[in-house]
Amino acid sequence: MMKAIKLTAVLLSAGLTVGCASKSDITNLQTQVDGLKAEISSVKSTADEALSSAQAAEAAANKAAAAAQRAEQAINDKLDRGFRKGAMK
């Protein structure tokens, strides 16, 4: 019985010594967490800028597509008028 108590005391003290995080470990982890938060903020800012640029590019592409469609329609109208004029002769 005494042997079991001694063994339990040794294991308990070893577990407390090895298993508990020290203040420096916690401080180190907190520093790493703070660094990761700053990095996440930077990445989010970059992603927001990329999204804004992509939306601006999409708007410009839509504007160019609409202009091209109007130009195509104007050319088709002009060709149709020319064909009708030639057919009437």
Q: Where are the domains of the chain?
A: 27-88
Task: Give me the pLDDT at residue 85, please.
Answer: 80
Q: Which residue has the higher pLDDT, 16 or 76?
A: 76
- Give the residue-averaged pLDDT of 33-58: 96
* Backbone angles phi and psi of 22, in degrees to 5: -85, 170
* Cut 0.85: pTM above it: no
DSSP string, 19-31: HSPPHHHHHHHHH
Spacing of C-alpha 50 from chain mean position: 9
Residues 6+ apart with CB under 8 A from 21: 29
Q: Render pLDDT for 53-64 as a digit per residue (tens, 0 to 9).
A: 999 999 999 999
**pLDDT score of 7 more than 70:** no
pLDDT band at 3; cut points 50, 70, 90 = confident
